[in-house]
Chain A
């Protein structure tokens, strides 16, 4: 009886670690942080010999003294740094020994299913403002501020919508870059805006994967070459998608 309970407890600890790692990885944490968090959680439940192997596409986790190795496949990654922060604070709390295994699991499940802190319209609005501000940073004229805001916000909204429908990131980014270029072209052709190139570049900025690039660099620094290179490749794919999307518009018009 005792043995069954013991092994169930061990499985639960492994489940908690995996869930924490999965949430962090799917929301844009660095690889070393994910591995570190998982190992710390295991250590705070008195299993200091944990091993985790984390790549952007999967997590493998095993604890010495527990007979299963867990594997979790990650199919899509997003960016939600709030969740990363929450899991980070939760792992601190767990390390202080203030939560039981079940409580930790409940809290993690809660974090995972929690909806975004900001509503979607705010995301789109921020994207518009970002596009406008980048226009100014790229030495565009103030006259082009509103056109940039329009194409940037609209393009970002299209990206969100298309990505929800077609799971392939490349296609949704290519399509939204296409839409951005079309809108910008349309605005400039009707004399609502002047610098076509600047408007397009600034409207594309919300789509540029900043977190991915930063993490790629940090992962390479930390020695996680697989993660670093794959995140770098993912950002290059995005750049390619954006370039192709815009080039199509340029070749049509």
Chain B
């Protein structure tokens, strides 16, 4: 749906699968869900970088495929629905969770950027000078 070319589809799928499996297992071991998300997106970020270097493809292709399973779509939906139903107590709870989860994904990606520096200069690193 994002129009990624055929030979990169599977790699995107693999990144997403690995990321989500990691998240799932961490949750199963009763790790705090925020930490689980940060860890999972960190791993996704590192793997995306490795794939991007290896296949000479922009990192976003793999990052996005990796993150989609983690994006809190269900929570955002719940939040908005409760808002429209005037159930503000629940709505604010869900909304906060949505923000926190999204922020956790962002944090994981940022931390991945740090690791990626060790693997080689990134586009982003060249930017911040």
Question: Digit string of A9-44 for contact with B (CB within 8 Å is 1, else 0)?
Answer: 000000000000000000011101100100000000
CB within 8 Å for A206 and B1 given contacts A244-B84, A247-B85 = yes
Of A48-56, A59-67, A101-109, A220-228, which binds chain B? A220-228
Q: How far is the CB of A203 from chain B (nearest CB, A)?
A: 10
CB distance A204 to B69 under 8 Å?
no
Question: Can you name the residue of chain B whose Cβ is closest to the Cβ of A89?
Answer: B56
| A89 neighbours in B (Cβ, 8 Å) | 56
CB distance A123 to B80 under 8 Å?
no
What residues make up the interface of B, taking CB atoms closer than 8 Å to A? 1-6, 8, 20, 56-58, 60-61, 63-64, 67-69, 71, 73-74, 76-81, 83-85, 102, 105-106, 109-110, 113, 123-124, 126-128
A200 contacts the other chain (CB 8 A) = yes
| A205 neighbours in B (Cβ, 8 Å) | 73
CB distance A211 to B3 under 8 Å?
no
CB distance A36 to B77 under 8 Å?
no
Bound Cα distance from A103 to B26, whole angstroms: 51
| A29 neighbours in B (Cβ, 8 Å) | 58, 60
Give which listed residue, B69, B80, B85, B106, contacts A239 with CB less than 8 A: B80
Bound Cα distance from A92 to B56, whole angstroms: 10
CB within 8 Å for A33 and B1 given contacts A214-B60, A215-B60, A247-B80 = no
CB distance A201 to B77 under 8 Å?
yes
A interface residues, how many (CB within 8 angstroms) = 52
Most buried by A among B8, B74, B124: B74
A194 contacts the other chain (CB 8 A) = no
A231 contacts the other chain (CB 8 A) = no
Question: Can you name the residue of chain B whose Cβ is closest to the Cβ of A240?
Answer: B80
Give which listed residue, A84, A221, A250, contacts B85 with CB less than 8 A: A250
CB distance B124 to A79 under 8 Å?
no
Q: How far is the CB of B63 from chain A (nearest CB, A)?
A: 6
Bound Cα distance from A79 to B68, whole angstroms: 14
Give which listed residue, A36, A80, A92, A240, contacts B3 with CB less than 8 A: A80
| B77 neighbours in A (Cβ, 8 Å) | 200-201, 204, 239, 242-243, 246
Bound Cα distance from A248 to B58, whole angstroms: 40
In chain A between 82 and 131, which residues have their CB closer than 8 angstroms to a CB of chain B? 82-85, 88-89, 92, 116-118, 123, 126-127, 130
